[in-house]
Structure 1
């Protein structure tokens, strides 16, 4: 057994809520320390093969027991590191939906084996490229700790941070949903109903009475003769509910459930009297499957975007004789330098992201156009390309948020890549959002670990005819290169298309 001294490890900034289950890095690898109180439970999960099963189903990130010893923890497990951490506020609606389904899939698999999830938020799901994985081992808990009164304790959290945002997005209110998701509480039901008044969502959110739901559940697990007796009891209970004021009905319902719950607790040690446990487990599992069905049925808007001439005109598999000077320059740069990671800023539908990914780079792609990001997500997912497409405006990247960055680590820290691509972007930033070269170049430098390949469109270009005026006299290639030289030690000019556009390969 290898013992690691505490000073040699660094704890993850998001791992502060549970001091008995903490993520840390050591020697460049990601580990999780598990305290003595929870070690027996996770030993059971490994011995029963639950962890391995979830990993094989590509629901849980690869997780293994280790012989490491760290002060304060009785068990240490290793996790495969995902190259880039992204948050749900940066995902397109299709990614949010797939992440929510992954969360429900792992909850269902755990329920089938007698376990439950403590949390119902998307912070426990990360995208490795376009594939979502559940990453919070500590959220797996014993069934009876997080299922009470036949309900998943985390359902309200799941609704506010997954289901309700998706329903808002299905009604074309993506921006509002995304802003509300930043808050700890997410989208409240009152928010949803207020913002979607007249859409019919209120009917979709209503549930049948508890007794009706219990009866439907019992029909699946009880023998016919027992079901008949139980149905008569349910009718008597329902009849008494109907004769009382609603407030008293609710109180009596809670009391009945409390009695059932107490009975359930008293029967756990006796396998001959586990009937109520069977009802509870079956109802919980059916509820999760229904929730999953509801999420899967959410129809998202069909986001469309206009393809650029460049996207329509070429394929990287086509003959290079048909490529433009710009395409050849980018291809040669990527093949000769071979960056391990590439950030494509203003990626549009991702032509150059796909090229970099096909050449072996891990790619992050930013665009503020939801149609572009959605299209790239579907394309990269279908072709299994290592691309993480994110909805982000380069001039307003996700900032650090929360005490000690607990909620969000800044995008400029999370998405630093060996090479940054900024193609056909600078003139849009300058003339649409009006920063100076200094702010734009500094932003590129924050994301770039080594190289920047940036395109400069001079004022003589026909596309910029309307901006030719004395007040834009500072917008010159010479001034741009002088600004680049403050953050990059070498700058080389490469041909682009059409002339007089140029590419500038910069190295720190």
Structure 2
């Protein structure tokens, strides 16, 4: 690998990187670095010299990585790597079903290639995968190590709990997996799965082997040490060929678990919403001009639905994060973007009235959405009324949040749906009379002016919706 000098700047440890004491990720002068101890450095250099790893890099299945030469003297590591920066860090409970499934398949493909070349991975967590747009990429380069004969894949349990079990829950039971993963950073425990898949459900694809037999084996070896279990497996003839057979079986199972969510209210929203064709055209032109005027950078599309405006933003932006509450809508968007080979739009599942909080150790191991998502342009189209009326969030707080997600000097592109708009009337009909006396256009414009400078405004031809472009902090 090509070596480069390390810039002189302060190190900042990545809060989510501490579980493997042999290596840790840091940030320094805008770069993503990984420090390695002596053993991990030896594993890395053997990995860097291997053909299979070069192939993974060439196929963009693993994040770009290079070792820094000479090793900086001001850090306590035997070697330091520099990784490419992923455009936006997301968490598995923000993915759609198709995204989680593709992340699992990538994980297994990376492991298969590693085992074939005499390597393995230390873990099997869904958090080892991130995204370049709609393309998954394996990021945990520090997980690779030389395979040892007779030892099983150390990451099997993690793979089951954070990837396979959530897929089984949704494919076989029709339950969205996201709340399970958001509730527990380590995923779904085998005991919980056994309660969900009792009786006849145990015969569904993958359940008997990877839930019940796996759980029974864990119970049987609960008092045994890891070294004892490994010795038992070696004496029983466990081999690399058996490990590869397990990976092939898991890959076949995950491919069979393709799940297509049914139709929902939001999946047909573009047809059923109140927009006329002139409204739609005026809105598209306004968004295109606003993003083009701001220039390259990150765009955050809040309430993205089918991605119509995210695609427009992607004409000008470096990357777009498209957030939508409905998992079925996000899954349809993801599959379309994947087929298009789109590398700039990342679709995510999230309720904006209940965005992803910080989680894990000390609440910072997995950063909150609001700590990750600041953007040069924030699109809040047909969103404010759903939060302010539908979810009873005070209008000033809605705008505070939108402004907080926009970098200083960046653009907030926001749509105000007037109280007499058909959609607003529908939401207001379900609320007590007089509950929202401040939901008025003049109040909205006053709140906008307090948070930035309005540089663009257009009335949609229907006359019941207004679009604004606001330079936040300007």
User: Which residue, out of 141, 148, 165, partners 1:144?
Assistant: 148
Structure 1 residues 174-183 or 55-64, which shifts more?
Answer: 174-183
Partner of 2:412: 452
**Cα pair distance change 1:73/1:322, threshold 3 Å:** same
5 Å matches for 1:327-342?
327-342=284-299
Q: State the alpha-carbon separation in 1 of the partners of residues 470 and 6 from structure 2.
A: 44
**Cα pair distance change 1:479/1:17, threshold 3 Å:** same
Q: Deviation string for 1:314-343 (max 9, x for gaps)?
A: 99xxxxx99632222222222233242111
Q: Deviation string for 1:150-180 (max 9, x for gaps)?
A: x323212211111111000113443466335
User: Which residue, out of 461, 471, 478, partners 2:442?
Assistant: 478
Q: Secondary structure at the match of 1:60?
A: coil
5 Å matches for 1:27-426?
27-70=29-72, 71-144=75-148, 148=151, 151-175=152-176, 178-180=179-181, 182-198=183-199, 200-202=201-203, 204=205, 205-207=207-209, 258=231, 261=234, 280-304=239-263, 305-309=267-271, 324-385=281-342, 386-426=344-384
Partner of 2:12: 10
**Cα pair distance change 1:355/1:314, threshold 3 Å:** farther
Q: State the alpha-carbon separation in 2 of the partners of residues 256 and 196 from structure 1.
A: 27
**Comparing both structures, which one devotes a greater share of its residues to helix?**
1
**Cα pair distance change 1:344/1:406, threshold 3 Å:** same
Which consecutive unaligned segments of at least 5 residues does structure 1 have? 209-246, 264-275, 316-320
Q: State the alpha-carbon separation in 2 of the partners of residues 343 and 112 from structure 1.
A: 41
CA shift, 1:123, in A, is 0.7
Q: State the alpha-carbon separation in 2 of the partners of residues 329 and 255 from structure 1.
A: 66
**Cα pair distance change 1:311/1:32, threshold 3 Å:** farther
The answer as to whether partners of 1:20 and 1:35 remain within 8 angstroms in 2 is yes
CA shift, 1:359, in A, is 3.3
Partner of 1:223: none
Q: State the alpha-carbon separation in 1 of the partners of residues 279 and 402 from structure 2.
A: 31
Q: Secondary structure at the match of 2:158?
A: helix
Q: Secondary structure at the match of 1:442?
A: helix
Partner of 1:441: 399
Q: Deviation string for 1:361-417 (max 9, x for gaps)?
A: 410011111121111101111222211100001111111123344431010111111
**Cα pair distance change 1:369/1:257, threshold 3 Å:** closer
Q: State the alpha-carbon separation in 2 of the partners of residues 255 and 454 from structure 1.
A: 61
CA shift, 1:302, in A, is 3.1
Q: Deviation string for 1:473-497 (max 9, x for gaps)?
A: 2111111122223322445422324
Q: State the alpha-carbon separation in 2 of the partners of residues 130 and 314 from structure 1.
A: 30
Q: Deviation string for 1:242-281 (max 9, x for gaps)?
A: xxxxx9xxx9xx9998467369xxxxxxxxxxxx6xx611
The answer as to whether partners of 1:177 and 1:187 remain within 8 angstroms in 2 is no
Partner of 1:243: none
Q: State the alpha-carbon separation in 2 of the partners of residues 409 and 432 from structure 1.
A: 27
The answer as to whether partners of 1:485 and 1:491 remain within 8 angstroms in 2 is no
The answer as to whether partners of 1:342 and 1:421 remain within 8 angstroms in 2 is yes
Instruction: Give the number of the structure whose alpha-carbon radius of gyration is greater.
Output: 1
The answer as to whether partners of 1:61 and 1:133 remain within 8 angstroms in 2 is yes
Q: State the alpha-carbon separation in 1 of the partners of residues 271 and 90 from structure 2.
A: 30
CA shift, 1:471, in A, is 3.4
What TM-score comes out, normalization by structure 2 length? Answer: 0.85
Q: State the alpha-carbon separation in 1 of the partners of residues 7 and 357 from structure 2.
A: 33
Structure 1 residues 414-423 or 355-364, which shifts more?
Answer: 355-364
What TM-score comes out, normalization by structure 1 length? Answer: 0.80
Q: State the alpha-carbon separation in 1 of the partners of residues 421 and 68 from structure 2.
A: 60
Q: Secondary structure at the match of 2:48?
A: helix
Q: Secondary structure at the match of 1:69?
A: coil
Partner of 1:237: none
Q: Deviation string for 1:20-77 (max 9, x for gaps)?
A: 3121222222121222232222212212334322212322111122214332122222
The answer as to whether partners of 1:311 and 1:349 remain within 8 angstroms in 2 is no
Which consecutive unaligned segments of at least 5 residues does structure 2 have? 211-219
Question: What is the count of residue pairs matched by the alignment?
Answer: 442
